[in-house]
């Protein structure tokens, strides 16, 4: 008798000896039967090999080759990624080509960060098979939250939302315009709600129209990917709280994007956040920004082997593209420009103008000119005006209605 069979017999015997006592015979036999089923299942798992075919590997590689996390992996870890991806799609546990439990968990994170379409996955765990205390196999074990039929119904809701969103997108839009359109669309159609159902995936946004940061970020990623724009979800912390946002590639350059922080309802609900008001309840302070700006209050989760790009381009930043950025300030030189910006706001029927400065020095120069010297009244048709300064993002927001100026 080989060693594996001895092990199984010992397990059965141990159970039989411990099971004998004052219980009824049929109860003992039922327990023994359950134990035998468990042992047989264990045997089958011991003999398992990765279920994925070479053809499936090629298909997954082609589909994922340009995704942020996948392309940073070494070839052997890409194989594990493929196996995890395959078992999630199939909804079946599968052996993976790896024995490092911690690294396997990293790869789970990468797969889910690359694929917001896996909304139906409730969790994915790891089963370690041992023989004589020696680990011999690892299995990825996915758990779905829906039946196949329920999943199809949910997917239909996602498809309907996606079609409605993209229907009104101008085919001539560039990548910047597409990102802004999707950013605005999600914010306009979603309420920030900590109690929202499915708030860790795209369903909360696309079916429930209420979510938290993870839902906002994954919905943004999902829609951008549908438009052919490279995007991934980054998890980490913002202001010492768990948070999620996006890394987006626009016209060959990387930028950070935080759709949740574009939601003014969120900024007003979170204690300690600045009380920012923007036209249409949209804030663009964290729309396509640099690493330097993002790291003031965001820190990405560290994953071994993953390098986040240094985002230093500003061409696609909202304030730059919309002509609202001031690298420096000179009253004489910028008088005509300021007048044009104020006139533009009035012409659009808006009541709020936000100006961004390169740094705090420029910000305070502008504030001193417009408000301390009261030069702002040459641009407006009111006797009283209010404003707010956000030094963390170097913005000056002016409310073109009666009010009390504040800093």
For residue 351, the model assigns a pLDDT of 84
Count Cβ atoms within 10 A of the Cβ of residue 121 and give its class: 0-12 exposed, 13-18 middle, 19 or more buried: buried
218-259 residue pLDDT tens = 999 999 999 999 999 999 999 889 999 999 999 999 999 999
CB 298 within 8 A of CB 224: no
Q: What is the pTM of this model?
A: 0.83
For the segment 191-210, the average pLDDT, to the nearest whole number, is 94
For the segment 302-307, the average pLDDT, to the nearest whole number, is 95
Is 91's pLDDT higher than 90? yes
Tokens 């900024």 belong to which residue? Answer: 267
Q: Model confidence at 358, in pLDDT bands (50, 70, 90)?
A: very high
Beta strands in 111-209 (DSSP E): 121-131, 134-144, 191-192
Is 369's pLDDT higher than 70? yes
CA distance 78 to 71: 8
Topology of domain 324-399, CATH: Ribosomal Protein S8; Chain: A, domain 1 (3.30.1370)
Is 127's pLDDT higher than 80? yes
For residue 269, the model assigns a pLDDT of 52
For residue 4, the model assigns a pLDDT of 40
Is 135's pLDDT higher than 90? no
CA distance 144 to 135: 27
Is 284's pLDDT higher than 90? yes
CA distance 115 to 68: 10
Is 14's pLDDT higher than 80? no
CATH 3.10.620 fits 148-319, yes or no: yes
Tell me phi and psi for residue 395, to 5 degrees.
-115, 150
156-186 residue pLDDT tens = 999 999 999 999 898 899 999 999 999 999 9
CA-based nearest residue to 180, from 277, 288, 293: 288
**Mean pLDDT over the full length of the chain:** 85
337 vs 29, more confident: 337
The SS3 call for residue 365 is helix
Exposure string over 83-97, b if 16+ CB within 10 A, otherwise e? bbbbbbeeeebbbbe
Give the range among 5-9, 99-103, 229-233, 378-382 with minimum mean pLDDT: 5-9
For residue 267, the model assigns a pLDDT of 54
For residue 281, the model assigns a pLDDT of 64
Domain boundaries along the sequence of the chain:
3-47, 54-144, 148-319, 324-399
CB 259 within 8 A of CB 249: no
CA distance 364 to 395: 10
For residue 101, the model assigns a pLDDT of 92
Q: What percent of the chain has pLDDT over 90?
A: 70
């Amino acid at each position: 008798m080989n060693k594996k069979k001895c092990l199984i017999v010992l397990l059965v015997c141990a159970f039989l000896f411990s099971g004998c006592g004052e219980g009824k015979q049929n109860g003992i036999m039922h327990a023994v039967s359950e134990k035998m089923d468990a042992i047989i299942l264990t045997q089958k798992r011991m003999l398992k090999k990765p279920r994925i075919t070479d053809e499936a590997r090629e298909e997954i590689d082609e589909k994922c080759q340009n995704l942020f996390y996948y392309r940073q992996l070494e070839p052997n870890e890409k194989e594990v990624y493929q196996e995890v991806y395959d078992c999630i799609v199939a909804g079946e546990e599968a052996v993976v080509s790896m024995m490092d439990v911690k690294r396997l968990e990293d790869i789970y994170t990468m797969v889910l960060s690359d694929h917001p379409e896996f909304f139906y996955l409730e969790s994915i765990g790891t089963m370690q098979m041992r023989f004589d205390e020696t680990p011999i196999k690892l299995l990825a074990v996915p758990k779905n939250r829906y039946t196949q039929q329920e999943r199809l119904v949910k997917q239909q809701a996602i498809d309907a939302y996606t079609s409605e969103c993209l229907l009104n997108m101008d085919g001539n839009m560039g990548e910047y315009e597409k990102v802004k359109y999707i950013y605005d669309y999600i914010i306009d159609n979603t309420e920030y709600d900590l109690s929202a159902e499915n708030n860790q995936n795209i369903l909360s946004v696309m079916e429930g129209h209420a979510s938290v940061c993870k839902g906002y970020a994954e919905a943004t990623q999902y829609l951008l990917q549908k438009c052919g724009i490279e995007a991934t979800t980054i998890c980490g912390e913002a202001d010492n709280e768990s948070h999620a946002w996006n890394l987006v590639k626009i016209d060959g350059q990387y930028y950070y994007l935080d759709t949740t922080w574009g939601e003014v309802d969120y900024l007003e609900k979170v204690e300690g956040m600045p009380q920012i008001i923007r036209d249409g309840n949209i804030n663009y302070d964290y729309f396509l920004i640099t690493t330097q700006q993002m790291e003031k209050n965001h820190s990405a989760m560290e994953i071994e082997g993953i390098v986040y790009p240094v985002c230093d381009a500003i061409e696609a930043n909202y304030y730059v593209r919309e002509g609202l950025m001031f690298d420096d300030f000179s009253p004489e030189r910028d008088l005509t420009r300021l007048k044009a910006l104020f006139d533009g706001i009035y012409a659009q029927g808006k009541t709020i103008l936000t100006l961004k400065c390169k740094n705090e020095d420029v910000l305070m120069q502008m504030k001193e000119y417009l408000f301390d010297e009261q030069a702002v009244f040459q641009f407006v048709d009111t006797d009283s005006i209010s404003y707010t300064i956000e030094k963390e993002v170097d913005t000056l927001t002016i409310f073109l209605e009666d009010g009390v100026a504040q800093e």
